[in-house]
Structure 1
Amino acid sequence: MIVTIDGPAASGKGTVARGIADRLGFAYLDTGAMYRAVALAALRAGADCSDAAAVERLLPDVHIEMPPDRVLLNGGDVTEAIRAPEVSQGASRVAAVPSVRAFLVPQQRRIGAGRDMVSEGRDQGTVVFPDAAVKFYVTADPRVRAERRHLELVRRGVATTVERELAELLERDRRDSDRADGPLRRPPDAHLIDTSHRTVEAVLDEMEGVVRRCTTDRA
């Protein structure tokens, strides 16, 4: 069974995706981390993440592995490095490059083939796994998202402000929603989850209930 969780940055989808995977005993795939890894590879090579031709030239030398709780780029552990602010911005730029999507989407499908898995991203329910058994779209108020991102970065020692993070999130939303290939969209058959003023446990309880009911209906 595939469960997809899509939504904008800092909506809480990563937290609930990992949480529901743990509750269900499913594998978990963070597809956004794969785009971040490509962005990191581009930045390390001195390439502009918005330059489609430059990014495409790098792809034959990009090897991404996704063991549990880690991200490996060409054999090196980049789990922390891909969370840097400049990589976050680069990720939404490389995600708009068609050749990058053509490179990563088949990998994501292979990872999910024949498995019980929660797959998190921005196009999982619309493009990668359109026939997923259960789909969720996780969102939150933009300012709440900015406050979360600000707190996350401050904890990691990054100097920033809520207003700066809000502006960057809104710009990233625009890029993610406006790209021609695999834009951020709520799948028509997805359950809408607004995490703005809810606890993680409350959200997980709701999501688990949806999945359990689906499992019963399919039995």
Structure 2
Amino acid sequence: MERYNIAIDGPSAAGKSTISKCLAKKLDMTHLDTGAMYRCLALKAIRLHISQQDEEALLDCLKKTGILLKGEQVFMDGEDVSQAIRNPEVSSAASNVSKWAKVRQEMVARQQVLAKEKGFIMDGRDIGTVVLPDAKLKIFLVASVEARAQRRFLEDKLKNPSLTLEEVRRSIAERDRQDETRLASPLVQAKDAKRIDCSDMSIEEVVDKVCSYL
């Protein structure tokens, strides 16, 4: 049975993790949420009061941090932080810490080691361009800012009743700006990636579309 890797890139809240999880289940593969790795560093930096603008301090922190992705659970230094890394403060900080070249180099090295055995679906911002340039299939998943804002708003509203749709919309637009303009591995579509606009598609439709490329 052929073993291969699938890379899924795209902007914030496009549904990369959801689609990756469904694909992994359908194709009997393993999903690796690389964004969760940056969120772990962001969470630890917040806890230790490390400046998100200090590249060397962040790199040193990362090198001393154990990150384990186990199914849908995320462990940092042995602690289950699956929920803690999903709050808005950590999301914003993750975008800040991920812009640093040295931090990304360390993360990419870890991700490539994880995927060496193949049989993985990785989602993030630079999987097809940097982490897994030889992936069998590369997907660039996009959706309009409005569609992404609506999805994220519905997800986060229960946790934060005072949240407004406009706040979510602004946050996503700012995250896009940061991801697309950073110097280290900016968000771009790999030349050989298949672009899927899922603004008006169901999860099942997107999964079927991805599978049609295999």
TM range (shorter): over 0.9
Residue 3 of structure 1 corresponds to 6
1:169 to 2:185 alignment: no
1:91 to 2:114 alignment: no
Q: Is the 8 A contact 1:6 1:121 kept in 2?
A: yes
Q: What pairs with 1:137-216 in structure 2 (closer than 5 Å)?
A: 137-211=140-214
Q: What pairs with 1:72-151 in structure 2 (closer than 5 Å)?
A: 72-151=75-154
One of 1, 15, 27 as aligned partner of 1:12: 15
Task: Report deviation, 1:155.
Answer: 2.3
Structure 1 moving runs of 4+ over 6 Å: none
Residue 54 of structure 1 corresponds to 57
User: What is the TM-score of this pair, normalised by structure 2?
Assistant: 0.95
Aligned CA RMSD, in angstroms, stands at: 1.1
Q: Distance in 1 between matches of 2:78 and 2:41?
A: 14
Residue 22 of structure 1 corresponds to 25
Identify if the C-alpha distance between structure 1 residues 113 and 158 changes in structure 2 by more than 3 Å, giving closer, same or farther.
Answer: farther
Percent identity, please. Answer: 38
Q: Distance in 1 between matches of 2:206 and 2:26?
A: 12
Q: Distance in 2 between matches of 1:158 and 1:50?
A: 31
User: Alignment length, in residue pairs?
Assistant: 211
Unaligned 5+ runs, structure 1 = 212-219
Identify if the C-alpha distance between structure 1 residues 158 and 115 changes in structure 2 by more than 3 Å, giving closer, same or farther.
Answer: farther
User: What is the TM-score of this pair, normalised by structure 1?
Assistant: 0.93
Q: Is the 8 A contact 1:153 1:159 kept in 2?
A: no
Q: Distance in 1 between matches of 2:73 and 2:86?
A: 12
Q: Distance in 1 between matches of 2:94 and 2:83?
A: 14
Q: Distance in 2 between matches of 1:203 and 1:59?
A: 34
Unaligned 5+ runs, structure 2 = none
Q: Distance in 1 between matches of 2:40 and 2:62?
A: 11
The structure whose residues are more often helix, as a share, is 1
Q: Distance in 2 between matches of 1:100 and 1:160?
A: 31
One of 40, 65, 78 as aligned partner of 1:37: 40
Q: Distance in 1 between matches of 2:199 and 2:169?
A: 15
Secondary structure of 1:11 counterpart: coil
Identify if the C-alpha distance between structure 1 residues 124 and 88 changes in structure 2 by more than 3 Å, giving closer, same or farther.
Answer: same
